């Protein structure tokens, strides 16, 4: 069987995976993202290590790279990445030469949308919005069954829409961006702030999970505590889910989709996140009582959507080039 590898690089982790044509993830490798204030070579070293681990000595037929950044219209360069050091770098050609195989590059949310459209919960739908919640927020627009990339290749950068003028500073250089209020980082920040502010006399699940040190709190800890009914963790999801719904209302008003798919690592929380998001969407959407409000659903592939979509993209490109 041909070996197609998808690689998803975000603000905190690199995930590489061997992906079968049906979307099954057969083998994975993970690395920590070196950060955005390091040399680009360190990031590409981490990608290379993950790809080599997945390949395990086998020849690789192609790699689809899903990058958390602004990818140009030609799919050659990562022009800007809020959480990574790429700034107009010729990423695709450089990695293709380094790995000795075909490499295809696109934005991570576009790849996630491709996975859900071809093999997941959006299969058969024509007009879909994809929103991914991880370190930040990614997004993709599907119109007429096709992922729309825009003139510069940068459509769908929803996370950096300003929702609060003069609000929380963002790593993109702006302030008040949507991802500062609804993302993995926002979830943890809210929970930490509330823990410090309340200084509870009784031990909560959140305190037990982080050993009483809010600085050690992580997103999965907040999700675990919320699933167990911890009130502070549930409050964090209520706030972050509410902001998710407010942002979705603006996007639904603009694009009028059939379906909204929520993916990314934070989507693993399921209804803890989606239920308050749906409520806020209906409350915030203009004319909600006079239209069909799209369903908001959890993606099939969760945090693996980027690698599944990346592998599907390179497989499709290779198939098209062989005709």
* pLDDT tier, 203 (very low <50, low <70, confident <90, very high otherwise): low
Cβ contacts of 287 within 8 Å, gap of 6 or more: none
Residue 201 lies in a domain: no
Question: Span 14-28, mean pLDDT?
Answer: 96
The whole-number pLDDT of residue 201 equals 57
- CATH number (domain holding residue 159): 3.30.420.40
* pLDDT tier, 82 (very low <50, low <70, confident <90, very high otherwise): confident
Task: Please check whether residues 293 and 312 belong to one and the same domain.
Answer: no
Residue 211 lies in a domain: no
* pLDDT tier, 202 (very low <50, low <70, confident <90, very high otherwise): low
Question: Span 80-96, mean pLDDT?
Answer: 92
Number of domains in the chain: 2
Q: Report the relative pairing of strands 70-71 and 146-148 from DSSP bridges.
A: unpaired
The whole-number pLDDT of residue 166 equals 94
pLDDT at residue 219 above 80?
yes
* Listed residue (95, 107, 106) closest to 136, CA to CA: 107
Task: Please check whether residues 13 and 103 belong to one and the same domain.
Answer: yes
Question: Span 312-321, mean pLDDT?
Answer: 92
Residue 136 lies in a domain: yes
The whole-number pLDDT of residue 171 equals 87
Name the pTM for this structure. Answer: 0.91
Task: Please check whether residues 272 and 168 belong to one and the same domain.
Answer: yes
For residue 109 the two structure tokens come to 């949310």
CA–CA separation, 15 and 155 (whole Å): 24
Predicted confidence (pLDDT) per residue in 104-137, tens digit = 999 999 999 999 999 999 999 999 999 999 889 9
Question: Span 254-271, mean pLDDT?
Answer: 95
**Reduced 3-state DSSP string for 68-94:** CCEECCCCCCEEECCCCCCCCECHHHH
Strand order, beta sheet including 128-133? 146-148, 137-143, 128-133, 259-263, 295-298
The whole-number pLDDT of residue 260 equals 98
* pLDDT tier, 224 (very low <50, low <70, confident <90, very high otherwise): very high
Task: Please check whether residues 71 and 170 belong to one and the same domain.
Answer: no
As a whole-number percent, the residues of the chain with pLDDT over 90 amount to 82
Are 247 and 283 contacting, i.e. CB atoms less than 8 angstroms apart? no
Task: Please check whether residues 19 and 96 belong to one and the same domain.
Answer: yes
Residue 115 lies in a domain: no
The whole-number pLDDT of residue 283 equals 97
* pLDDT tier, 211 (very low <50, low <70, confident <90, very high otherwise): confident
pLDDT at residue 30 above 60?
yes
Task: Please check whether residues 12 and 93 belong to one and the same domain.
Answer: yes
pLDDT at residue 12 above 90?
no
Range of the domain at 24: 4-107+304-321
Residue 189 lies in a domain: no
Residue 309 lies in a domain: yes
Task: Please check whether residues 132 and 58 belong to one and the same domain.
Answer: no
Task: Please check whether residues 308 and 289 belong to one and the same domain.
Answer: no
The whole-number pLDDT of residue 278 equals 98
* pLDDT tier, 139 (very low <50, low <70, confident <90, very high otherwise): very high
Task: Please check whether residues 240 and 279 belong to one and the same domain.
Answer: yes
The mean pLDDT of the chain is: 93
Instruction: Give the residue with greater pLDDT, 156 vs 204.
Output: 156
Residue 29 lies in a domain: yes
Predicted confidence (pLDDT) per residue in 303-316, tens digit = 899 999 999 999 99
């Amino acid at each position: 069987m041909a070996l197609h590898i998808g690689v998803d690089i975000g603000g905190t982790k690199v995930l590489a995976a061997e992906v079968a044509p049906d979307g099954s993830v057969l083998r994975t490798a993970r690395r920590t993202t070196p950060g955005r204030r390091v040399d680009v070579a360190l990031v590409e070293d981490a990608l290379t290590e993950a790809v080599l681990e997945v390949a395990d000595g086998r020849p690789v037929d192609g790699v689809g790279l899903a990058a958390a950044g602004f990818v140009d219209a030609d799919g050659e360069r990562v022009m800007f990445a809020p959480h990574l050091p790429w700034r107009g770098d010729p990423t695709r050609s450089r990695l293709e030469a380094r790995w000795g195989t075909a490499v295809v590059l696109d934005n991570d949310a576009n790849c996630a949308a491709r996975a859900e459209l071809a093999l997941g919960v959006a299969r058969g739908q024509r007009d879909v919005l994809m929103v991914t919640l991880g370190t930040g927020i990614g997004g993709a627009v599907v119109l007429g069954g096709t992922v729309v990339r825009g003139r510069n290749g940068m459509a769908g950068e929803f996370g950096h829409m300003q929702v609060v003028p003069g609000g929380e500073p963002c790593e993109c250089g702006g302030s008040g961006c949507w991802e500062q209020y609804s993302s993995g980082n926002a979830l943890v920040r809210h929970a930490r702030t509330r823990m410090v502010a309340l200084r509870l006399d009784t031990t909560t699940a959140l305190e037990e999970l982080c050993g009483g040190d809010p600085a050690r709190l992580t997103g999965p800890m907040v999700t675990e505590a919320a699933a167990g009914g911890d009130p502070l963790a549930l409050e964090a999801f209520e706030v972050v889910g509410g902001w998710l719904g407010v942002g979705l209302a603006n996007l639904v008003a603009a694009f009028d989709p059939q379906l909204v798919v929520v993916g990314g690592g934070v989507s693993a929380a399921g209804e803890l996140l989606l239920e308050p998001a749906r409520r806020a969407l209906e409350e915030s959407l203009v004319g909600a009582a006079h239209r069909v409000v799209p369903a908001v659903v959890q993606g099939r592939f969760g945090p693996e959507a980027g690698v599944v979509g990346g592998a599907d993209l390179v497989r499709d490109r290779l198939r098209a080039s062989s005709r």
